Amino acid sequence: MKPGMLLLWLMPLLPPQVQATQADQIKASHAWIRLLPANLPAAGYVTLDNQGSSAATLVSARSAFYASVMLHQSATDTTGSSSMRMLDRLTVPAHGEVSLAPAGYHLMLQEATHPFKPGETIDITLDFADGSHLRVPFSVRPANAPD
Amino acid sequence: MKFSRLARLACLLVLGMPLAACQRNETAASWQLTDISGHMPDLAFQLTNDQGKAVTAADYRGKVALLYFGYTHCPDVCPLTLAHLHVVMQKLGKLAEGTQILFVSVDPQRDTPEALHTYVTAFDPRVVGLTGSPAEIEALTKRYRAAFSREPGKASDSYEVSHSSGIYIFDAGGKARLLATPDDAQDKLVHDLYLLLSAGGTP
Ligand SMILES: [Cu+2]
């Protein structure tokens, strides 16, 4: 058999694409939810570490446990006034890290499907710009948990 | 301790300053938070506490009061501040009994006394939630130049509130003394509260 023929035979066995998805490049850590009483909106936090050589852009998030999950940013202006705004996207640079942490970026979690308890784990799916997804387990912590 | 005694001695002997004036300078220099003594009015308000009872600032005289403006539908910055204050209270140990954290809602439409009660007790037993009529709340925020505003949210019935993030600290006599920002380290709060509390609110 000629060497060219052998390659043809092996072709279907090779992975269809070498390019990793944005979700594949992201390592999520320190994922937690600050639980608030009475079904008040809660915040989800996570550190996103991009181990790939291209940027990954978070465009949305969702969870079976919350009716609404939004990407938010808290900011304090020069007068010391604090407010939150909604973000369309959040880019994690190549080989870079972005932290969703208290008083900064957070996932705004609204209308939980049922009451949670500290110690439980809740899955939130992060959607990236290339259509890939990453399911991340978030641990539920009490309202007064230190960050 | 040794140093401060030396400093006092230096005041008396070298500078010839009255001891009281010198001690005042010494205290002023040792605050780690922003000193607002004389720059902000005394603590005064007429509001409703989280038990539904009408209260005034006089009800909290005798305790070092920490005044903070927020609202329960604030899932990020307000809980962070209250969680920090909880740690500060733990670090102060027994001295914390001389403090009172006042969480004033700038969202009285949604924050009923019951809603506030559930919220504040999730953080620390020393937090009292205060609410009132929009006019009463506005009067208090204006008094401390802690402006707040309401911005419409995505859904028609939702809105976001922007609010001052400072913690105003009053001594046991109701005098404005210090201002802490959420960025100030917990240790600074512990340090200054320790000074205020151990001196009976009047160092
Ligand atoms: Cu938010």
Cα–chain center distance at A69:
11
Which of B69, B71, B72, B77 best probes binding to A when mutated, by most A CB atoms within 10 angstroms?
A: B77
Q: Chain B 47-76, CB below 8 Å of chain A: which residues?
A: 72-76
Amino acid at A65: F
Q: pLDDT tens-digit profile of A75-121?
A: 877 777 788 888 999 999 999 999 999 999 999 999 999 999 999 99
Residues of A in contact with B36 (CB under 8 A): none
CB-based neighbours (< 5 A) of ligand 1, an ion: A 72, 84, 108
pLDDT of residue B15 exceeding 50: no
**pLDDT bucket at A146, cuts 50 / 70 / 90:** confident
CATH architecture of A20-136: Sandwich (2.60)
Neighbours of B49 (CB within 10 A): 19
Neighbours of A30 (CB within 10 A): 14
Residue B203 lies in a domain: no
B102 and B18 together in one domain: no
pLDDT of residue B19 exceeding 90: no
* Distance in Å, CA A41 to ligand 1 centroid: 8
Domain hosting residue B142, numbered range: 31-198
Cα–chain center distance at B169:
4
Rounded distance between C-alpha atoms, residue B187 and residue B192, angstroms:
9
The residues spanned by each domain of chain A are 20-136
pLDDT reported for residue A45: 98
Percent share of chain A, pLDDT over 70: 88
B69 and B111 together in one domain: yes
Q: What's the complex ipTM?
A: 0.82
Rounded distance between C-alpha atoms, residue A35 and residue A117, angstroms:
8
CA distance B10 to chain A (A): 40
Residue B172 lies in a domain: yes
